């Protein structure tokens, strides 16, 4: 699906979709709990659907009704039918479930080649140390053998999703475990989100320090009802849209959220943006921001939209810790640099950082989504200040995380033609 987006002022009220990160975690925990859990306020994109289908194939009953997921489980997963797990392009599904679903009968994880090529170094090392079979094929990964309770030392800046995958798994094992991560671990708050969700389902994780966790074994997940809070990652697109050319009230935001992408508010406040913060909403108006430094170490998913915002900043913007953009749904670093080149923005790329200068006139004309949902949505927002209407190719990629994005953009006054 290609779209033609007409530039215009963004104005109105907007409620972001529920947090995809929290929803993944809630589905997993509810599927491991004996009894019925209800997850309220949901949006099912492609990634979430993969996690749902994975647990359905393992015997968990999951129904969608009135913007809710009703999940009924025995608390025991059924490996008898030896169903493959289809992850498609969902890195969250693959990384969260791989340690959890290790078993002596073996299991296949299928996915797009782009997903299966992404690093799984930590799991490969753990599995090798515990004599668990791990074999990569062109279109799936096969594991055989069950993960064991242990003391896990994580010394690299790996994805927090590996740590979350272990945190879902270790409480169920026969024996206590520990996880020790390096200090200043990147994306640390995603670990906090996992621990928070585990607590809602009766699982205890003891924080011995900011980077040392004790996980008692032989625990039991307990069914629970959960209301998923709004997603700061998705709200960020409209926050930036309002900064560039708008006046938008964003409702139903948890100002005290653990979500790391809440950092977008601090970044903009520090840059003199016109933002008013209320109890459960914010009001954002068009502002000439002055962003000098951005650190993506804890907020890597904000990378694409912040690259483009930096091109509209009053002064040069230095963005550091950008290399993790390489191993996302696309090579986001390479693709965002390509976009900067296309909009004629001056930049200097060096090691793990980039400096981006202000670009007065934007005229995208016709551009690819790079088959990446976050790049596609970032380009849609930049299109609202383009000199002329913009064609964005393969816009259907937004279904991965935010299928109603274009509807929300239209409701804020942007004309979109579906080509």
- Active centre residues (catalytic): 301
DSSP secondary structure, 115-136, as one string:
HHTS--HHHHHHHHHTT-EEEE
Strand boundaries in 15-67, DSSP class E: 34-40, 61-65
Q: Is 301 annotated as a binding residue?
A: yes
CB atoms within 10 A of CB 171: 24
84-102 exposure pattern, b = at least 16 Cβ within 10 A, e = fewer: ebbbbbbbbbbbbbbbbbb
CB atoms within 10 A of CB 184: 11
d(CA 197, CA 32): 13
d(CA 31, CA 175): 22
Q: Is 400 annotated as a binding residue?
A: yes
Residue with tokens 């530039």: 7
d(CA 27, CA 34): 13
CB atoms within 10 A of CB 66: 6
d(CA 148, CA 377): 41
Q: Is 160 annotated as a binding residue?
A: yes
Pick from 196, 130, 191: which is nearest to 157 by CA? 191
Q: Is 328 annotated as a binding residue?
A: yes
Q: Is 117 annotated as a binding residue?
A: no
What is the separation of C-alpha 153 from the centre of its chain, rounded to a whole number of angstroms? 24
Maximum pairwise Cα distance, the chain: 62
406: CB partners within 8 A, 6+ apart: 3, 380, 395, 398, 416
Q: Is 359 annotated as a binding residue?
A: no
Q: Are 135 and 128 in contact (CB under 8 A)?
A: no
Q: Is 91 annotated as a binding residue?
A: yes
Q: Is 11 annotated as a binding residue?
A: no
DSSP secondary structure, 92-120, as one string:
HHHHHHHHHT--TT-EEEE--HHHHTS--
Q: Is 161 annotated as a binding residue?
A: yes
342: CB partners within 8 A, 6+ apart: 364, 367
Q: Is 332 annotated as a binding residue?
A: yes
What is the separation of C-alpha 156 from the centre of its chain, rounded to a whole number of angstroms? 20
Binding-site entries for 3-phosphoshikimate: 20-21, 25, 159-161, 187, 301, 328
Binding-site entries: 20-21, 25, 91, 118, 159-161, 187, 301, 328, 332, 374, 400
Binding-site entries for phosphoenolpyruvate: 20, 91, 118, 161, 332, 374, 400
């Amino acid at each position: 699906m290609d779209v033609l987006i007409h530039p215009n002022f963004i104005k109105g009220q907007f409620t972001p979709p529920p947090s995809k990160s929290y929803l993944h975690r809630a589905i997993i925990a509810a599927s491991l709990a004996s009894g019925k859990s209800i997850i309220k306020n949901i949006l099912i994109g492609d990634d979430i659907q993969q996690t749902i289908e994975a647990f359905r194939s393992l015997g968990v009953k999951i129904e969608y009704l009135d913007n809710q997921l009703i999940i009924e489980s025995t608390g025991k997963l059924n490996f008898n039918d030896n169903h493959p797990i289809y992850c498609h392009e969902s890195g969250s599904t693959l990384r969260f479930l791989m340690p959890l679903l290790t078993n002596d009968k073996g299991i296949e994880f299928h996915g797009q080649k782009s997903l299966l090529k992404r690093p799984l170094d930590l799991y490969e090392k753990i599995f090798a140390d515990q004599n668990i079979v791990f074999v990569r094929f062109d279109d799936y990964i096969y594991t055989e053998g069950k993960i064991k309770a242990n003391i896990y030392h994580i010394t690299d800046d790996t994805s927090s999703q590996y740590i979350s995958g272990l945190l879902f798994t270790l409480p169920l094992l026969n024996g206590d475990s520990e996880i020790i991560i390096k200090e200043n671990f990147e994306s640390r708050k995603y670990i906090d989100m996992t621990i928070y969700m585990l607590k809602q389902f009766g699982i205890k994780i003891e924080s011995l320090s900011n980077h040392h966790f004790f996980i008692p074994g032989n625990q039991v997940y307990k069914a629970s009802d959960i209301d998923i809070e709004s997603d700061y990652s998705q709200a960020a697109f409209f926050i930036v849209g309002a900064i560039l050319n708008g006046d938008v009230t964003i409702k139903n935001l948890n100002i005290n959220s653990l979500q790391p992408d809440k950092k977008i508010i601090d970044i903009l406040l520090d840059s003199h943006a016109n933002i008013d913060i209320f109890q459960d909403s914010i009001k954002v108006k068009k502002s000439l921001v002055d962003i000098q430094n951005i650190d993506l170490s804890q907020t890597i998913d904000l990378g694409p939209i912040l690259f483009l915002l930096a091109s509209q900043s009053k002064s040069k913007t230095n963005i550091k810790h950008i290399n993790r953009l390489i191993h996302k749904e696309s090579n986001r670093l390479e693709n965002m640099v390509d976009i900067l080149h296309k909009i004629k923005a001056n930049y200097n790329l060096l090691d793990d950082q980039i400096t981006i200068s202000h670009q007065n006139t934007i005229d995208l004309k016709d551009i690819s989504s790079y088959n990446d949902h976050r790049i596609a949505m970032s380009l849609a927002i930049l299109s609202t200040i383009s000199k002329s209407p913009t064609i964005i190719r393969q816009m259907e990629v937004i279904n991965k995380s935010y299928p109603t994005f274009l509807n929300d953009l239209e409701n804020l006054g942007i004309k979109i033609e579906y080509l």
